[in-house]
C-alpha cells in the first residue's frame, strides 16, 4: 500500500449481550466490552440478527457493514464494523 493511500475506517468491538431484556439498548460497559441488552431471545440466530439491526440503526450504517466475527453462539461477541473508527463507534453507542 502506498503512503498516500488511506485505509478504510473499520472498528472491531467487544460486545456482551443480554438477550430477553425488556427493551433493546446499550447499558454502558462491562469490563472492556460494550453491554447491549436485546429484547430478542437467543434462539435460531434471533439475538444476532437483533444485535446487527440495532447496531446498524444506532451507528447509522447499512447492515451489510456489520459482521459478527466471533461469538455467534455466545453472549461475548466480537463485531467488525466497516465505515467507522473504533473511538467514533464507541462514542455513538455510549451517548
Residue 11, pLDDT > 70, answer: yes
pLDDT above 70: percentage of residues in the chain: 95
More confident call, 1 vs 56: 56
Which pTM does this prediction carry?
0.91
Per-residue pLDDT tens digits for 33-77 = 999 999 999 999 999 999 999 999 999 999 999 999 999 999 999
Under CATH, which number does the domain 10-94 receive? 3.30.1200.10
Q: pLDDT for 25-35, tens place per residue?
A: 999 999 999 99
Residue 23 clears pLDDT 70, i.e. is over it:
yes
* pLDDT attached to residue 6: 73
Q: What is the 3-state secondary structure (H, E, C) of 11-48?
A: EEEEEEEECCCCCCEEEEEECCEEEEECCCCCCCCHHH
Domain boundaries, the chain: 10-94
Amino acid at each position: 500500500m502506498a503512503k498516500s493511500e488511506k485505509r478504510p475506517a473499520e472498528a472491531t468491538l467487544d460486545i456482551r449481550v443480554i438477550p430477553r431484556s425488556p427493551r433493546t439498548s446499550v447499558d454502558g460497559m462491562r469490563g472492556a466490552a460494550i453491554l447491549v441488552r436485546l429484547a430478542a431471545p437467543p434462539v435460531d440466530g434471533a439475538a444476532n440478527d437483533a444485535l446487527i439491526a440495532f447496531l446498524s440503526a444506532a451507528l447509522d450504517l447499512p447492515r451489510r457493514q456489520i459482521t459478527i466475527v466471533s461469538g455467534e453462539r455466545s453472549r461475548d461477541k466480537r463485531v467488525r464494523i466497516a465505515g467507522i473508527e473504533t473511538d467514533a463507534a464507541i462514542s455513538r453507542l455510549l451517548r
